[in-house]
Structures are given as C-alpha cells and as structure tokens.
Amino acid sequence: MNVPKPPKKTFSRAQKIKKIAAAFETILQALGIDLTNPSVRDTPLRIAKMYVEELFRGLTQAFPRITTVKDDFYQKRQGMILVRNITLHSTCEHHFVPMVGVVHIAYLSNGEVLGLSKLNRIVDFYARRPQLQERLTTEIAEKIASLLNTEHVAVLVQAQHFCVMTRGVQDRSSDTITHYFLGRFQDDPELHREFLESALHHPQPHL
C-alpha cells in the first residue's frame, strides 16, 4: 500500500537560522563545550547563518537568471568550447565537511552560447548544498544541455574531500575524478579524448 508522504515543511530564513542555532547549541553542549566562553558563545548562530546564507544557499535561492547568447559562428567553428578550472566549493552530504576542487566544462554549440561566468554560477548553484560529487557532475551537465539546447556536453569534476583528508584514512594527496559525457562527447572517441587531454593535461591549480 502506498502511504502518501506528509507535505514537506518549509521554514522562513529566520526560522531556519533559529532552529539550526538551537540544534548546534545542543551539539556543543553534548561535546562538553562551555557556551558561556565569549569565544564560542556566538558559534551556534554563526554556524546557522553560514549554513543558510553561504554553504547551503543553493537549497533556497532561485536558479540564477541565465540568458544564452546567439552564436552566429557555430557552424564554422571547429571543436568544443571548453572552460577549465572553475572553482568548486561544496559540502559532502555524508560527513558535512568541505569538498573543494575544480570543474571543467565543455560543450558543442547548437547556435547558442553562455557567457563564460555563467558556467561558474551554474557550478556554484549545485555546489552550495550537501552534495555527492557524482550527483553534482550529472546535475551540472544536464542543466547546461537543457539551457543550451545541445546534446553535446562534457563535465569533469576533480575534488578533494575533507572527509578523506582529515579523518578515516587521512589521505591528503588523493583526489577524486568524476565525469559525465553527453552526446558526441560520449559517442565520438576523438572528441572524448580531446576533452580529457585538454582538461587534465595541464598544470593543476593549487587547491
């Protein structure tokens, strides 16, 4: 039997901050931290604001207004449009610690292009919430395909996870690569390889 799910509760921004701050106070108390210490007194509220307004703002903000630009030269252009090393700041949904890295995005224009900074905004929108790297990669690729009306998109995410770096195996040198290829980036081995080579064979920025 299908039991209907109760409607999702939504809270105002102020309610969210209040609830999270109260919950964090409980966490700090359970850890035995003295909340009368002036240095940590405001920590619950500080964390609550950081969650709602910064780290997880992608959960509440509207998708950024992104308009595409007509691309008169797309039939003459050889190859892909590729933007590399877009900064990624996200949070691992399993451990609630940062995952940071870079995103490389390529697409074949179908008559429309995006302003280059718009790709950063798309990455940021999906990154600013508790995430899984695999899901993030797919969400970015599918959004770009639908905004640009093209089936040909490649996204590669290269990230370091603080849950791997600072706990568990405590490995600070490994990173994780996930990619998602659509259309010709999947079917055309030449284009596939060209993307991977251009995205990966270059000096990596310092994370």
Binding site residues, Zn ion, CB under 5 A = 92, 94-95, 163
The reply to whether 29 belongs to the active site is no
Query: What's the closest the beta carbon of residue 193 comes to Zn ion, in angstroms?
Result: 31
Cβ neighbours around 56 below 10 Å, total: 20
* Secondary structure of residue 109 in the 3-state scheme: coil
The reply to whether 93 belongs to the active site is yes
Note whether 33 and 39 are within 8 A (CB): no
The reply to whether 15 belongs to the active site is no
Query: What's the closest the beta carbon of residue 161 comes to Zn ion, in angstroms?
Result: 5
Nearer to Zn ion, 56 or 181 (CB): 56
Query: What's the closest the beta carbon of residue 130 comes to Zn ion, in angstroms?
Result: 10
Nearer to Zn ion, 34 or 93 (CB): 93
CA–CA separation, 9 and 51 (whole Å) = 18
Query: What's the closest the beta carbon of residue 171 comes to Zn ion, in angstroms?
Result: 13
Catalytic residue among 54, 61, 93, 202: 93
The reply to whether 92 belongs to the active site is yes
Cβ neighbours around 125 below 10 Å, total: 19
Q: How far is CA 3 from CA 6, 7, 8, 9, in A?
A: 9, 12, 15, 17
CA–CA separation, 90 and 79 (whole Å) = 30
C-beta nearest to Zn ion: residue: 163
Catalytic residue among 25, 151, 163, 192: 163
Catalytic residues: 92-95, 133, 161, 163
